[in-house]
Structure 1
Amino acid sequence: MSFASPAMAATPLVRACPIRIISVHLLDAAGQLLRVLFLDREGHISALPHYVPRAEALILASNQQRVLGPQARVHVL
């Protein structure tokens, strides 16, 4: 006896997580990693990770990468 309903079988599995963490990897002049920090929803850099909705995370990360330029690598995790 199966407990799965037909509606459950028809529901597509979404693999994209709706919440992300934005990490900021600060680099030295040689490109070596100095420190890993995080962005919050307001775009402030913090030592603690903050969960941000995916669409906002992508925009914040792009903007922060433009601001920091080559001295950092900004990643949406």
Structure 2
Amino acid sequence: MAATPLSRTCPIRIISVHLLGAAGELLRVLFLDREGHITAMPHYVPRDEALILAANQQRVLGAQGWVQVL
């Protein structure tokens, strides 16, 4: 039986928000909670919700940030 990649089977994720400066340098790394609020502490979010929250937050931040689902 072939092994399934962990990234596809893990049901929970952490959403990191990387805030960038004018020159594109990393200023701060924060996280999103289940309600979509930016916090200093990581929160575990179900995978499907995490993908939606991350996409929405990326639209809000635009070039000022980079959102990643871990």
Structure 1 and Structure 2 fold alike (TM over 0.5): yes
Matched, 1:44 2:37: yes
Q: Whose Rg is larger?
A: 1
Q: CA RMSD in A?
A: 1.3
Please, which runs of 5 or more residues in structure 2 have no aligned partner? none
What residue number does 2:63 align with? 70
| Count of matched residue pairs | 67
Displacement after TM superposition at 1:36 (Å): 0.1
Identity of aligned residues (%): 76
| SS at 1:24 equivalent | strand
| SS at 1:55 equivalent | helix
Please, which runs of 5 or more residues in structure 1 have no aligned partner? 1-9
Displacement after TM superposition at 1:31 (Å): 0.3
Q: Tell me, in whole angstroms, the C-alpha distance in 1 between the residues paired with 2:11 and 2:24.
A: 31
Matched, 1:33 2:40: no
Cα deviation digits, residues 11-68 of structure 1 (max 9, x gap): x754321100000000000000000000000000000000000000000000000001
Structure 1 segments of 4 or more deviating over 2 A? Answer: 12-16
Q: Tell me, in whole angstroms, the C-alpha distance in 2 between the residues paired with 1:56 and 1:24.
A: 15
